[in-house]
Amino acid sequence: LTYQNLAQEYFHIPVVTRTYTTACVLTTAAMQLEVISPFQLYFNPELIIRRYQIWRLVTSFLFFGSLGFGFIFNIIFLYRYCRMLEEDCFRGRTADFVFLFLFGGILITLLGLFANIFFLGQAFIVMLVYVWSQRHPLLRMNFFGLLSFRAPLLPWVLMGCSLLLGNSVAVDLLGICVGHVYYFLEDVFPNQPGGRKLLTTPELRVLFDQEDDSNRRLLQEDEDLQRRN
């Protein structure tokens, strides 16, 4: 592949997935090159409040450990499920997808105050996986050729893997809980008798109107082309 082809493929990735994945990779690269230290990145409410180190609210979501199997595993899951959500469930709705990021990030941060978790990125990935899995309830999955199950079980399979590896399952449970809150408020409660939509995307939509309109036109053109065929 030439540089031009790689660049085209990179910019073909949806904007939210591209931005978040790139930020995670660059953060880990900077740490490996010793430009920054994990001690400057982790979630520390006391330093955030008393020392005004506000950046920790963001950097705690960008670091998945030093370069190794854990980092690669998390980046693959982040890229795969974030992209599938953005291209499928949120296609043409960039502002709504950004709102999911903000809602999930804020809730994970608030709950993280009580969970004593220093890096929140893995919980965020599990949240994305949970939302995606609930929106594909009939899809069958194969996990490393060992397990076959329906998509909604995927977050629990990931938690089981954490347990087998001797890792704390608090991070997975945090992501599952936040993912379920979003899914319930967005997809379940509005469809219940007497229910209504409680989550409304704020004025962020103005920032993404042009891109969303462009995506909607592409969707309409695809539908028109399918009808003609």
CATH of the domain at 17: 1.20.1540.10
| CB-based contact 94:59 (threshold 8 Å) | no
Phi, psi at residue 142, to the nearest 5°?
Answer: -125, 120
Q: Is 166 domain-assigned?
A: yes
pLDDT at 85: 95
Q: What is the CA angle 185-188-190, rounded to 5?
A: 70
Residue 115 has a pLDDT of: 81
223 falls within a domain: no
Q: What is the tally of structural domains in the chain?
A: 1
Dist CA 116 CA 125 (whole Å):
18
Q: Determine, yes or no, domain membership for 168.
A: yes
pLDDT at 205: 57
Low-confidence ranges of the chain (pLDDT < 50): 218, 223, 226-227
Residue 4 lies in a domain: yes
Question: Does residue 225 lie within any of the structural domains?
Answer: no
Is residue 190 domain-resident? yes
- pLDDT of the residue at 226: 47
Cβ neighbours of residue 226 closer than 8 Å, sequence gap 6 or more: none
**DSSP label at residue 85:** I
Domain that holds residue 153: 1-202
Q: Would you say residue 173 lies in a domain?
A: yes
pLDDT at 68: 82
Confirm whether 171 is domain-assigned. Answer: yes
